[in-house]
Structure 1
Amino acid sequence: MIRLRRLLASMTAAGVACMLSTAPGAAAAQHYTGAPGAAAAMSVSALSFNAKSVDATSGSATIELNWTMTSSNPNASGYGGDIHIRRMNPKTGAYIGTELVADFDSQGSPSGDVTIMPGATPASTTYTWTVAVPQYGATTKTTWAVSEIEGRDGSGDSIDWTAPQLSAFARTFTARTTVDQGFPSLDQIALAQGTQATVYEAPGQAAALRYQLDSQENKSGVYGGTVVVTGSGGRTARGSFAIGWDGNGNYQGCGNIDWLQRQVLDCAVTVSLPAGRLAGG
């Protein structure tokens, strides 16, 4: 979902505008491991959803995602990793917003929504993730896609598959969604602690202002934003933030973020001021 709201706050001599949104996120890096010129021992041999579409307008819809991890390495002992799904523009393939992520581990305890199918072996293990489908979207129809699978087989082999590999499977489904007509709120914006309202620059070097904000959007969530500082003569400077998955089981990019990305607290945004501006600019 792409939705912007321009919010104004007075900050001493400067005007500050903050635009918060479920802004498009960049696609994950497209790469996988393996010896040059050789086939990787690990693979995903099957991947599919148990339905092509669901009605998520009630807020209680789920869909099952099934995938099978395989390894030809005789020393493989089991699989661990994570799987990601994201909203996707079906025409361009561009991802929107941050991802939903589940961990899987055939030797330990997978996350609560992931189960291991009977008959698992070190050579082949099938998982099922019961995904709680978000109720809200930018329109009445939202496309979701598996965007990444990262896995290891316990013997040193690993893969990190994204669109080039996953597009061979039926990796998408559509959800009938409730249109989110709300906007992210700006609950607080101020100069960050330790930042002075007056800054100085050394010759040829830029200065910077650092702001701190709180925001929430209880339907589609907050995925990014931009702080715009306006000086004399209408000149502007900008600083942005984007929320993403950091690979260690956390959403990062802006202060404290709840699991559903519906609230960000103490989000610090740095606005760089170009060098050479006149005083008061």
Structure 2
Amino acid sequence: MGLLTVALLGAVSVGPVQAAEGEGGLALSALSFSPSTVDATAGDASATLNWTVTDGNASAAAVSGDVYVRQVSAAGSTVGPAFDISYSMQPNGSAMTSSVSGNAQSSTYSYDFNVPQYAAQGSATWTVVRVTASDDQGNTLTVGKDRLSEFASTVTAKESVDSTGPTYEDVNLPPDAATYLYIAAKPVTVAYYIDVADPESGFYKGEVTVAGPGGQTASGKLKVVTAGDGNTSCGPNTGGWGSNEIICSVSVTIPAGAAAGTWAVSRIRLTDNAGNTSVYRGLNLAPVQVTQNATLQAGDFSIDPKAVNDWPAAQKLSITMKPNGVRQGLTSATVWTDTGCGGSVTQAPSISADGTITVPATMFNRSKECTITGIALVDGAGDVAAYGSYFDGPDLNLVATQIPDTTPPVATSASLSFTTIAASALPRNVVLTADVTSFAGVSGYSITIYDSAGRPVSGGYGGLSAVTEGAVQIVVDLPQGLTPGVYTVGFELTDEGGLYAQYGYANVGSPAPSGPLQITVTDS
């Protein structure tokens, strides 16, 4: 649809039409298109739809509803989608008709319906096929097309002819989708994305069929939906502002007990808003491999280590299993994980003397845990085995957990790059070097400089690359204006887990490990 124009009008008279009534006295008392014929070949035609809703309930204070307009053929069948014109007596932020006057007992609305430019023939009729209303007292009204025929509810348009059906460009699995599917006692659902184009009347609906071994098939339907704000969508996680070119998502459910082997998109049926249909057969797109783990199998799954110190850096994990029924060697082993870690693809994994294979995963720095969600094996004969919740199978129960950080960092020694400086040489930086040991790795610091009376005169803080053992160097800023005297440096070390240790501060923490860190400022 194009832009919307809505205003409240006075009651519209359409002749001696009896009101279509609903519960509680709600009624459609008037409805008409003006003009009743338009020329839409240039793409800018509109017809104003006026309607009046009355409510016999004197307590009603609000009325809202929808008017549905649809193309209707000469034989009375509908063509293409319905256009949903939402309305509300009072603005509510979502209704197309947001400007209204009067009251709930009689409210009249106006909407400029943009007549589509294209149809399957040179003349097309657009008809109000349903009107709904409800008030704040719980009363409702639904008026169907038979009763609506008593009103001037149609507009006939001269149209540009759309004689071709939609086309598709790409059919893909989502980026994170499994290409192996484990099927046992329950079905599995495969999601596809399909890029559809129809530059004239726009795409409306379709069906995707997936074929597997032995002639087995499964299918899923897709459809463009236009929201009240004009935004279009075609399945979950899609959106746009039109249907001339749109990416749709469609789900296909492969039934339980389906034949093992390759399943791929074999047929696509697409219909546009003018009723033209395109059918594409003999396809072999976006294949997935279905398995019942009947030929190639695996067992004895384990993960090592189960307790991991990933505080200072990411850590490698080893996933071990014992494959059975391997034909012509293993081609690949793939590991999927949750967000706390990363999986891997191992090409041609070798089988050890004890019959096991080991493949890696990575537990990311500072992750609380790493869960292996899926493991898939493929052998040289094309057999597949898939395990884990990633494939809708039982959980593998392979989890590595982070070892808690319970030990603060320790500084075993500390020194300054110089201990005497003239006041005239300030400002100047001095480097504090500390030898540390830390389970989680020292990654932050803070500094305080005290004068001889124990008053802080300067300081700073910052981050470090995590150090578990060895020297860290911290730059201490000696500001201009320090008067001659002795100054003491206190420092704090913080590890990756947030634990800290303080040294050389005036009233807290421990003494500096190698004695007080002092700098003498001289007057020359």
Query: What range describes the TM-score normalised by the shorter chain of this pair?
Result: 0.7 to 0.9
| TM-aligned CA deviation for residue 45 of structure 1 | 0.6
The percent of aligned pairs where both chains have the same amino acid is 32
Q: CA 1:68 to 1:230, structure 2 compared with 1: closer, same or farther past 3 Å?
A: same
> What SS class does the counterpart of residue 57 from structure 2 fall into?
coil
Give the Cα separation in 1 of the matches to 2:190 and 2:63: 46
Whether 2:261 is the aligned partner of 1:280: answer yes
User: Of 242, 246, 253, which aligns to 1:260?
Assistant: 242
Whether 2:194 is the aligned partner of 1:213: answer yes
Give the Cα separation in 1 of the matches to 2:251 and 2:87: 36
Please list the CA deviations of residues 48-70 of structure 1 after superposition, one character each: whole Å capped at 9, or x if unmatched: 11233211111111111111111
Give the Cα separation in 1 of the matches to 2:63 and 2:231: 21
Which residue matches 2:122?
140
Give the Cα separation in 2 of the matches to 1:78 and 1:206: 47
Please say if residues 197 and 203 of structure 2, whose CA atoms lie closer than 8 Å, have aligned partners that are also in contact.
yes
Give the Cα separation in 2 of the matches to 1:60 and 1:188: 32
Please say if residues 65 and 131 of structure 2, whose CA atoms lie closer than 8 Å, have aligned partners that are also in contact.
yes
Whether 2:87 is the aligned partner of 1:87: answer no
Give the Cα separation in 1 of the matches to 2:103 and 2:259: 69
| TM-aligned CA deviation for residue 145 of structure 1 | 1.1
> What SS class does the counterpart of residue 169 from structure 2 fall into?
strand
| TM-aligned CA deviation for residue 94 of structure 1 | 3.0
> One-letter code of the match for 1:73?
N
Please say if residues 86 and 97 of structure 2, whose CA atoms lie closer than 8 Å, have aligned partners that are also in contact.
no
Please list the CA deviations of residues 238-266 of structure 1 after superposition, one character each: whole Å capped at 9, or x if unmatched: 2111234578986555242434333333x
Greater mean alpha carbon deviation, residues 167-176 or residues 256-265: 256-265
> What SS class does the counterpart of residue 221 from structure 2 fall into?
strand
Please list the CA deviations of residues 169-224 of structure 1 after superposition, one character each: whole Å capped at 9, or x if unmatched: 23222211111134323232112244322322104x33332212222323211111
Give the Cα separation in 2 of the matches to 1:161 and 1:245: 22
Give the Cα separation in 1 of the matches to 2:81 and 2:239: 12
Greater mean alpha carbon deviation, residues 126-135 or residues 238-247: 238-247
Give the Cα separation in 1 of the matches to 2:22 and 2:178: 47
Please say if residues 114 and 128 of structure 1, whose CA atoms lie closer than 8 Å, have aligned partners that are also in contact.
no
Give the Cα separation in 2 of the matches to 1:197 and 1:209: 9
Give the Cα separation in 1 of the matches to 2:45 and 2:235: 29
Give the Cα separation in 2 of the matches to 1:202 and 1:112: 48
Give the Cα separation in 2 of the matches to 1:162 and 1:67: 15
| Count of residue pairs brought into register by the alignment | 240
User: Of 252, 268, 282, which aligns to 1:271?
Assistant: 252
> What SS class does the counterpart of residue 260 from structure 1 fall into?
coil
Q: CA 1:258 to 1:252, structure 2 compared with 1: closer, same or farther past 3 Å?
A: closer
Please say if residues 114 and 130 of structure 1, whose CA atoms lie closer than 8 Å, have aligned partners that are also in contact.
no
> One-letter code of the match for 1:94?
S
Which residue matches 1:187?
169
> One-letter code of the match for 2:84?
V
Which residue matches 1:8?
none
Greater mean alpha carbon deviation, residues 231-240 or residues 176-185: 231-240
Which residue matches 1:229?
210
Whether 2:47 is the aligned partner of 1:66: answer no
Larger RCO of the pair (alpha carbons < 8 Å, separation 6+): 1
Which residue matches 2:224?
243
The RMSD of aligned alpha carbons is 3.0
Give the Cα separation in 1 of the matches to 2:183 and 2:54: 57
Which residue matches 1:177?
159
Q: Pairwise mapping of residues 16-27 of structure 1 onto structure 2 (< 5 A)?
A: none
| TM-aligned CA deviation for residue 137 of structure 1 | 0.8
Please say if residues 213 and 259 of structure 2, whose CA atoms lie closer than 8 Å, have aligned partners that are also in contact.
no
Please say if residues 68 and 131 of structure 2, whose CA atoms lie closer than 8 Å, have aligned partners that are also in contact.
yes
Q: CA 1:252 to 1:150, structure 2 compared with 1: closer, same or farther past 3 Å?
A: farther
Give the Cα separation in 1 of the matches to 2:155 and 2:44: 16
TM-score, normalization by structure 1: 0.73
> One-letter code of the match for 2:60?
A
| TM-aligned CA deviation for residue 148 of structure 1 | 2.2
Which residue matches 1:21?
none
TM-score, normalization by structure 2: 0.41
> What SS class does the counterpart of residue 223 from structure 1 fall into?
strand
Q: CA 1:54 to 1:84, structure 2 compared with 1: closer, same or farther past 3 Å?
A: same
Give the Cα separation in 1 of the matches to 2:188 and 2:49: 49
Please say if residues 27 and 53 of structure 2, whose CA atoms lie closer than 8 Å, have aligned partners that are also in contact.
yes
Structure 1 residue ranges without an equivalent (≥5): 1-31, 35-39
